[in-house]
Amino acid sequence: MHPNVHLLDHSLIARAVTVLRDRNTSVVEFRAHVRAVARGLAFQATQRLPLVPVEVETPLANTTGAQLRDSVIAAPILRAGLGMLDGFLDVLPDAITGFIGMKRDDETLEPYECYRNISDLTNAHLFLLDPMLATGGSARAAMRSLPLDRAASHSLLAIIAAPEGIAATLAEFPSLQIYVAAVDERLNEIGYIVPGLGDAGDRLCHTL
Ligand code: PRP
Ligand code: URA
């Protein structure tokens, strides 16, 4: 495994990914488990964020605690990434949010951007959220127009990734950190991850 790829190794995450893979999982369960996996990925991806000391007054005494040094931006790639946002915010409720809308053309698999509203990345830690990293085209297109060199760090949180998508994405963005719950076997001829979980956006949005 490439050193920038961090596989979330946790019994409950393995179980949750299995629920997500199951074609018979209801939309209610699917949404709940995407949120739960996103929460786990968020904990892992933020584990080493730099801290600075802060004085805090408890009911009993003054003590030194810790607060984050830098701002954090959680940016779902629409649509499907939106399903991960609440899980990230469960872990860091005051994160700044940004939004990037990408849609894969079903014929060419080429993504096109349809929405963007994201604040200044300067000195911020950017966490892009997208449950599926398939060809990597959507994530790469989303990052291409971002001034990533100004950010303190940039990471992608995905639930399932294909080896092809990881390789293409890290080839273009070698500083990116990828946090993922499962790395699957391959892509099929229409760019779906196998075994995967199907179309994450449709399953989350109940538009199957
Ligand atoms: C899906 C998924 C990713 C992308 C992954 O989005 O949510 O964004 O495909 O594939 P890639 O790595 O080959 O680009 P889709 O374009 O289906 O849009 P949606 O989220 O609106 O369903
Ligand atoms: N997008 C999805 O939602 N699923 C895949 O398997 C590939 C791209």
Distance 99 CA to ligand 2 centre (A): 19
CA-closest residue to ligand 1 atom 3: 132
CA distances from residue 113 to 77, 109, 144, 169 in whole angstroms, order as listed: 10, 13, 11, 17
**Does residue 23 lie within any of the structural domains?**
yes
Average pLDDT of every residue of the chain: 97
Average pLDDT rounded to a whole number, residues 148-171: 98
Question: Any catalytic annotation for residue 169?
Answer: no
Give the number of the atom of ligand 2 that is nearest the alpha carbon of residue 200: 3
Identify the domain containing residue 95 by its residue range. 5-49+68-205
pLDDT higher than threshold 90 for residue 107: no
Question: Any catalytic annotation for residue 149?
Answer: no
Q: What is the pTM of this model?
A: 0.97
Token pair, residue 198, equals 């199907």
CA angle, corner 15, sides to 14 and 18, nearest 5? 90
**Does residue 157 lie within any of the structural domains?**
yes
CATH number of the domain to which 129 belongs:
3.40.50.2020
The residue that leads in pLDDT, 148 or 104, is 148
- Please list, in sequence order, all residues whose beta carbon lies within 8 angstroms of the beta carbon of residue 31, skipping any fewer than 6 positions away: 83, 204
pLDDT band at 108 (very low <50, low <70, confident <90, very high): confident
**Does residue 180 lie within any of the structural domains?**
yes
Question: Any catalytic annotation for residue 104?
Answer: yes
Q: How many domains does the chain have?
A: 1
What pLDDT is stored for residue 172 in this prediction?
A: 98
Average pLDDT rounded to a whole number, residues 58-62: 98
Token pair, residue 44, equals 């892992």
**Does residue 45 lie within any of the structural domains?**
yes
pLDDT digits (tens, 9 = 90+) for 75-104: 999 999 999 999 999 999 999 999 999 988
